[in-house]
Amino acid sequence: GAVVSQHPSWVICKSGTSVKIECRSLDFQATTMFWYRQFPKQSLMLMATSNEGSKATYEQGVEKDKFLINHASLTLSTLTVTSAHPEDSSFYICSARGDYNNEQFFGPGTRLTVL
Amino acid sequence: GNSVTQMEGPVTLSEEAFLTINCTYTATGYPSLFWYVQYPGEGLQLLLKATKADDKGSNKGFEATYRKETTSFHLEKGSVQVSDSAVYFCALSDRGYSTLTFGKGTMLLVSP
């Protein structure tokens, strides 16, 4: 099946710094990528949807200036958490979807801890 | 808006026991329903799906039936294995796969 990777798998940073998380589709071209956030014992919450070469569409309540999403190629999307604060600590999951069917393929997630 | 409610875990079973994980939903229109599984250290994988009322999705011995009258999509397996230990997410979409709404996930722990 289709494989999606995320890097890093976990990251610890200081408050006020920025962190970039990469999401890659390894064996297919992802025209659309999705970014989710998951709190402990909570469901996955969609943060934004990005289509290759265009601006991301953010869900209500998600700060687009804080969570910068770039989808510059058909195999890579990045999420940058700018000026991170402890409340941004969470598990971030991406998914990718190609053109051949509508299924979303998920990455393994990135655990972000902001001190 | 759309929402998915599934039973809290962890669900702890012995090998070969019968499994049921309840899932109910609230949605406008006629959503598609999904079960995803997340094994430790891996991404979510689609386990099964159903796109209309009375459809039964099945895969790897798991099955779930789309019940419109009870707005439910309970996951069942007749005989679980240790390798089934994972977190199971119920989800719905009312726009194909474009937007998924997830439940909180239910951890299943199967002991030998």
Write out the two tokens for A29: 């071209």
What pLDDT does residue A43 have? 82
What pLDDT does residue A1 have? 67
Partners of B95 on chain A (C-beta within 8 Å) are: none
In this model, does residue B40 exceed pLDDT 90? Answer: no
Alpha-carbon radius of gyration of chain B:
13
Residues of chain A with pLDDT under 50: none
Partners of A97 on chain B (C-beta within 8 Å) are: 97
In chain A the beta strands, taken as DSSP E runs, fall at: 4-7, 10-13, 19-25, 32-38, 44-51, 57-58, 67-73, 76-81, 90-97, 105-106, 110-114
Cis peptide before A8 (omega within 30 of 0): yes
What pLDDT does residue B89 have? 96
What pLDDT does residue A24 have? 95
What pLDDT does residue B23 have? 97
Query: pLDDT tens digit string along B53-90?
Result: 999 999 999 999 999 999 999 999 999 999 999 999 99
Partners of B90 on chain A (C-beta within 8 Å) are: none
Higher per-residue confidence, B48 vs B29:
B48
In this model, does residue B16 exceed pLDDT 60? Answer: yes
What distance in Å separates residue A79's CA from the closest CA in chain B?
A: 17
In this model, does residue B94 exceed pLDDT 90? Answer: no
- How would DSSP label each residue in A5-36? EEE-SEEEE-TT--EEEEEEESSS--SEEEEE
Q: Residues with Cβ < 8 Å from A61, sequence gap 6 or more?
A: none
What pLDDT does residue A51 have? 87
What pLDDT does residue A77 have? 95
What distance in Å separates residue A66's CA from the closest CA in chain B?
A: 22
Distance CA B70, CA A96 (A): 32
Cβ within 8 Å, pair B89-A4? no
What pLDDT does residue B97 have? 53
What is the average pLDDT across B34-51? Answer: 90
Report DSSP state, residue B97: B
What pLDDT does residue B15 have? 97
Chain B contacts to A (CB-CB under 8 A): 4, 8, 36, 41-46, 89, 96-105
What distance in Å separates residue A75's CA from the closest CA in chain B?
A: 17
What pLDDT does residue A42 have? 77
What pLDDT does residue B42 have? 80
